[in-house]
Amino acid sequence: MLSVIDSNLLRQPLKSPAHTVVAALDEYVVKKRDFGAPISLLRDHIGSRIGKDIPMDSLIHIHGFNGALGLNELTRLGETHRIIWTLHDMNPFTGGCHYSLDCTQYKSQCTNCPAVKLPFQSAVEEHQEAKIATLKNLPDLRIVAPSQWLANEASQSAVLAGREIAIIPNPFGPEFLPNHKFSEVSSKPEAGLRFLIVAANLSDPVKNVAEAVAAFHRLRVISPRSQLNLVGGGGREFSGEHVTHHGLLESDQLGELFARCDVILIPSLAENSPLVIAEAASQGCRVIAREVGGMPEVVSALHSGATYKNISELDELLGEQKVFTPAQRTQLSDRAVSLFSPKSVAAQYDEVYES
């Protein structure tokens, strides 16, 4: 495993100072203030030593390349290595944004990019053209998407049009393999419903946490015993009665919290296929998510949970929720393991590696 940082920039800002500085410039100098998704433009042009550490004759599996592998380096590696690239958002096939939101210009040319300020719009267009040229030089490149939604978006893009794209879900980590039985004690209706929201930064406007918190407080009018748990950085503005802030949790702590909660809420305005859905389901916690990106696919595959399009639908769904029985939690957990366990997903990647 080769990476610029081991965790993320919020937790390790000094691990790669150049990466942190350039990512901050992308966020606060290049991007328009009102654009609701992150962009990577300047940080795609900083160097790293990762390419030099890749052994000859090895298969390369790329997950995130921003600030790690430059396009020129990808071209060079493609001459001597076989490359598998798992897409985790739209950035690999746009001029800079990680989610295009309502913009569809990535399907042709990223001209007059709505995500960045005027002085950087030509750079976005040039960066998209560079991606098109680079991937043309990688005929043996195999593309994987964790959701059908992302695969569809990629296949319509100017960068990846015509490429075969395999659909393989993201796996949850082995620490989320269930090792307990759900007891009657944690499933008493009189205890009230236990909701959960998880985000690296709860104050991120793209995560749209305010919408779910407001819906929770409306629910408490008819369900006064309900509880809301918030996990992640920031979010102090959402403090209120029956709202508990846990801060950033380690995976084992998060797994224990999933096992104690009934529903995880994901009100994000832009998502692909967030791993937290599978992690929560592995512990018998069902999801209510906004109907965006690949989330409806995951909910449908789990045969549990629901999606919503607007606030009134969210309110209605919250009012319909019941406490799961231990048998229901076990059924959901078993389904999540069959779909998203490391063993299940690794078997699907074996086919891609060997094809």
Q: Is the pLDDT of residue 163 over 60?
A: yes
Contact 49, 70 (CB under 8 A): no
Q: What is the pLDDT of residue 355?
A: 82
Contact 234, 302 (CB under 8 A): no
- Rounded to an integer, the average pLDDT of 57-82 is 90
**Residues 87-129 pLDDT 10s:** 999 999 999 999 999 899 999 999 999 999 999 999 999 999 9
Phi then psi for residue 304, to 5 deg, are -160, 150
- Every domain range in the chain assigned CATH 3.40.50.2000: 174-339
The CATH class of the 174-339 domain is alpha beta
Q: How confident is the model at residue 191 (pLDDT cuts 50, 70, 90)?
A: low
Work out the number of other CB atoms within 10 angstroms of the CB of residue 155.
16
**Residues 242-269 pLDDT 10s:** 999 999 999 999 999 999 999 999 999 9
Q: Is the pLDDT of residue 68 over 90?
A: no
Contact 61, 84 (CB under 8 A): yes
Q: What is the pLDDT of residue 185?
A: 45
Cβ-Cβ contacts under 8 Å for 83 (sequence gap 6 or more):
59, 60, 61, 62, 74, 77, 138, 140, 141, 142
- Rounded to an integer, the average pLDDT of 290-297 is 94
Residue 236, classed as helix, strand or coil, is helix
**Residues 16-61 pLDDT 10s:** 788 889 989 999 999 999 998 999 999 998 877 888 888 888 899 9
Q: How confident is the model at residue 169 (pLDDT cuts 50, 70, 90)?
A: very high
Q: What percent of the chain has pLDDT over 90?
A: 74
**Residues 228-241 pLDDT 10s:** 999 999 999 998 89
Region label for 305, one of left (φ > 0), alpha (ψ between -120 and 50) or beta (otherwise): left
Q: How confident is the model at residue 180 (pLDDT cuts 50, 70, 90)?
A: low
- Mean predicted lDDT score pLDDT of the chain: 91
Phi then psi for residue 195, to 5 deg, are -100, 160
